[in-house]
Structure 1
């Protein structure tokens, strides 16, 4: 049995597929991944065959951000073009396709699976992306909002229409080229009537709803045994536990002094800092010996050794931080990040900063709250509750669904 896993997105979208691929291979299946080339080293580390597609995600996002008024329809069509071109070759000899990530790439995955008669699964990493009476869909920025009186059911129904209007023409052009009939409810076809939710049920519970029946597998986590660099390890051991600051794939274009704010906030509490450059290119602001700069790093080895973790609230980083038992401060920027910030606060294991731009005062206040003994104690309790077998659960379920 061979499975193709497909996504287009940041590290938080790609790395879980490396975990699932490794779990599939551990259970006797073959797995390959189709995604952007940014994360090739992690797939190589996991022993997973990568079919790279398109430019790097980072370059694509830079191009989108440079456009003062990006056209969602055109950008979506661009991603579809890349994936409709790449997926048929990647799917050769496969029995199933599982897709996640940016919606246009999943459109291509579903259509290719339909064309070649392959088992198809859609998976999401956060419940707020799936239809539910308990939360609203995201508002498309170029579309008028529904009336305030509309309930969540009405909003999700409208979302079906909007998704069709935005992505339907490009999708049906490609479907016709594959010999497939047009799709008139594209979102529902791609999501299927039973999508998977690859998030931890403690950190990210799914509330039952008649709008969507979900199979929650737990988060897909790739074990990482890479050691920390000796100079980083020496820095950590030279004093009290530092504070980690990193914002992953966020460019932080509207928060140009993020490094200065974070460093000053930590220093104000007498804490040293491990500063992750990320896509924002954060760097030390002076020659102070209390700040250590890192690039790509093993979060599983680093986070348990931190006093607190300041981050953007991506699904992957939030899960890794939660599993480490270290308190968190989330400064959410976009998309699902306010949701994860809210969950960390609701569980009592950290603080959700109010808004995407922090000051030294606001971040210092949030960090002081995260550093309280009761917050650390709660973070350790929650860490013990979070499962680590989500990828194995999903792999077994996927293999059974194809074989049965």
Structure 2
């Protein structure tokens, strides 16, 4: 599907696009090729991270990661310059082979993880960056053994938003990481400490290290304290707009999509989460009408994945209905998937701020 073209004055010459009309197909090789920092974090570096002076752990984390990046060697020139994609390298090296960034929402963990990827002295095709969900999707697309063979030739694997609430997927990825550590791949991961648990010690780190069991010796936990930068010093999140204004903005914005929120939730059930990124290809804005609380957990979790992909791709979200901080009820926010729901609220709120410029 192609994006609508812009007419004079910035208006669209065609009707808005629709996410519900898209049924993307993503070949497995694209899943591997796209394991790089998303557009939002394409240009971030350690130097562009601004530590909060009130939170010394932030500056300390930068220094730890700089040193870790410098220790990631590259043997691309070995064996006559040929890449040893399937060569096994000794895992026993000085210091941990992995770092784990432990902190709350919006303290810049993904910024630092992407900066580590950029700083690691290895070619881009020998470094991989993806979310925990994207990694499990890759295993589903390629199979476990082929995923091991593909990633074993890498020097670094960065995993954003390591999930601790799905035992099956956690064990799967833990086994995968064990094989990669044996092959000499350096690892880096992030996860979240719940807002209510901040200040109570390494809650997330303890969970992480327990879940990955035998891999714990390979990771150095790095604590990052602080407030959510997406809401630091900013006004209250924008309230939803009337449906007619959202519809008008969609029609006046080239490359914007327009969908009813309930219809979109139903459509997401027909698209595999690994294709949600492709679902947003070419979009410059997402406009939603009739946003309402989500009580079905399956629908809520699919919405979380879509929110992550929209945030990664810097696609603003303009909506009518209930505010994004009312998407999930108290029971869901206190349940097993609460980390995901809090992250989705934080990111959708940031995208709603970015969409304010669409209203003329």
* TM-score category of the 2 structures, normalised to the smaller one: 0.3 to 0.5
Taking structure 2 as the reference length, what is the TM-score of the superposition?
0.36
Which has the higher relative contact order, 1 or 2, with Cα contacts under 8 A spaced 6 or more apart?
Answer: 2
